[in-house]
């Protein structure tokens, strides 16, 4: 994983240097910072996940001597469209965009396409549009699988209470996370190890090892956090209020990401009848790494944003040079098969957090207390 990341990042710096040289400069002149004809649009500053991406883009592009414009949509598809239009007006040739909502972004990227811009869907897939050239992503099914494997690995005996939570239904990733998790949890629900406590739709479908999108939608409609910590907290409170003491005790919590994991964990921890909990997450947010060190969150999934950023930059440079970026698979977005390059993810808990998150240079040790 790390040699792979280093080689991808090195390739990006070398390619950027060649680009500068071919534009009449030299690689060393790049350090004076010139403008790359690439615009970046990210969903919101309100979630640490997207601030990670912003910082990693700035690190990578500054190291290569480039200045780039990064705009945030602040949770609004209308603002997102304005952002795209302003980047079109500035003459960008490539758009790297993580949509706030997959389908709502279609109109904006179609406008970019009409202006001759290459569109790279970043982390989240833009759906129901043919104006998507490329998708850089993590293996989202693997994220859900890793979360569920963690829960299953900690559950012994029978009748362990299981509470399910999901991401926003406007985000195709949320379906992949849930699908990956369901495939691992379902056999353990079927054999009685785990018992679903907070979704009648999931209970109705618990005999089924695979679910259609429509079936997942029915379940997710009951357990969605909408990727929002307050929604997650309110839902967890409502779930706890609706069950008896026998449904609590030592509980298993499928939380879709770190922000919602901390909200759900805090809510369960505050319930006197909850004696212990295992809770999942993803994103390796600093606050969740500290929660893991403090024993308040059980695990997270590291999706090394440096890899995603390197892939997005490499793809942008390929387009600027008239080449096609490397493709290892495709994702159907409801209209077309989008060429993609998914990256691997790593399951992290107390036992490997130092090695995977600190020793790898992902976050500095000085940002945490209680490291092993
Ligand atoms: C991303 C996650 C993130 C979530 C909420 C998903 O599309 O893949 O990393 O936690 O959105 O922003």
Q: Which of 161, 271, 178, 273 is CA-nearest to residue 217?
A: 178
The answer to the question of residue 259 being in a domain is yes
Number of domains in the chain: 2
Question: Tens digits of per-residue pLDDT, 129-138?
Answer: 999 999 999 9
The answer to the question of residue 248 being in a domain is yes
The answer to the question of residue 372 being in a domain is no
Range of the domain at 95: 3-138+305-341
The verdict on 272 and 325 lying in the same domain is no
CA–CA dist 283, 120 (Å, integer): 21
The pLDDT value given to residue 4: 57
Confidence of residue 180 (pLDDT cuts 50, 70, 90): very high
The answer to the question of residue 191 being in a domain is yes
The percent of residues in the chain predicted with pLDDT above 90, rounded, is 87
- 146, 171, 178, best to mutate for ligand 1 pocket (most atoms within 8 Å of CB): 171
Q: What is the CATH number of the domain that holds 18?
A: 3.40.50.2300
The residue from 285, 302, 319 where one domain ends is 302
Task: Provide the CA 228 distance to its chain's centre, in angstroms.
Answer: 14
- CA of 77: how far to CAs of 44, 72, 112, in Å? 11, 11, 15
CA–CA dist 55, 336 (Å, integer): 31
Task: Provide the CA 153 distance to its chain's centre, in angstroms.
Answer: 23
d(CA 257, ligand 1 centre) in Å: 7
Q: Which residues line ligand 1 (CB under 6 A)?
A: 47, 49, 123-124, 167, 171, 173, 227, 257, 282-283
The verdict on 156 and 298 lying in the same domain is yes
Residue with tokens 């036992």: 351
The verdict on 280 and 311 lying in the same domain is no
Confidence of residue 10 (pLDDT cuts 50, 70, 90): low
Mean local confidence (pLDDT), 78-83: 98
Confidence of residue 65 (pLDDT cuts 50, 70, 90): confident
Confidence of residue 326 (pLDDT cuts 50, 70, 90): very high
d(CA 229, ligand 1 centre) in Å: 12
The verdict on 170 and 230 lying in the same domain is yes
Of 32-36, 56-60, 77-81, 176-180, the poorest mean pLDDT is in 32-36
């Amino acid at each position: 994983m790390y040699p792979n990341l280093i080689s991808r990042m090195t390739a990006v710096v070398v390619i950027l240097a060649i680009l500068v040289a071919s534009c009449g400069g030299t690689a060393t002149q790049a350090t004076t910072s010139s403008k790359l004809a690439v615009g970046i649009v990210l969903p919101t500053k309100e979630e640490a996940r997207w601030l990670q991406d912003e910082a990693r883009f700035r690190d990578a592009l500054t190291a290569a001597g480039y200045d780039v414009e990064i705009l945030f949509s602040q949770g609004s598809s209308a603002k997102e469209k304005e952002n795209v239009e302003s980047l079109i007006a500035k003459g960008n040739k490539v758009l790297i965009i993580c949509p706030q909502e997959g389908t709502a972004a279609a109109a904006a990227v179609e406008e970019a396409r009409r202006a001759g811009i290459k569109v790279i869907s970043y982390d989240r897939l833009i759906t129901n549009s043919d104006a998507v050239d490329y998708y850089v992503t993590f293996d989202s099914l693997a994220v859900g699988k890793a979360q569920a494997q963690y829960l299953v690995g900690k559950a012994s005996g029978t009748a362990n209470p299981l509470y399910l939570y999901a991401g926003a239904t406007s985000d195709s990733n949320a379906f992949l996370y849930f699908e990956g998790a369901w495939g691992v949890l379902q056999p353990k629900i079927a054999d009685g190890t785990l018992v679903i406590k907070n979704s009648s739709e999931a209970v109705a479908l618990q005999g089924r090892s695979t679910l259609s999108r429509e079936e997942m939608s029915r379940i997710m409609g009951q357990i969605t956090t909408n990727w929002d910590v307050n929604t997650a907290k309110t839902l967890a409170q409502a779930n706890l209020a609706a069950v008896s003491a026998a449904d609590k005790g030592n509980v298993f919590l499928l939380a879709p990401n770190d922000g919602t994991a901390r909200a759900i964990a805090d809510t369960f921890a505050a319930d006197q009848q909850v004696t212990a909990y295992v809770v999942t997450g993803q994103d390796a947010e600093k606050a969740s790494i500290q929660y893991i060190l403090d024993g308040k969150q059980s695990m997270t999934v590291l999706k090394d944003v440096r890899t995603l950023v390197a892939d997005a930059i490499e793809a942008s440079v390929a387009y600027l040079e008239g080449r096609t970026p490397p493709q290892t698979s495709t994702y159907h977005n409801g209209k077309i098969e989008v060429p993609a390059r998914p990256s691997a993810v790593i399951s992290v808990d107390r036992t490997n957090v130092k090695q995977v998150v600190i020793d790898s240079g992902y976050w500095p040790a000085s940002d945490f207390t209680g490291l092993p």
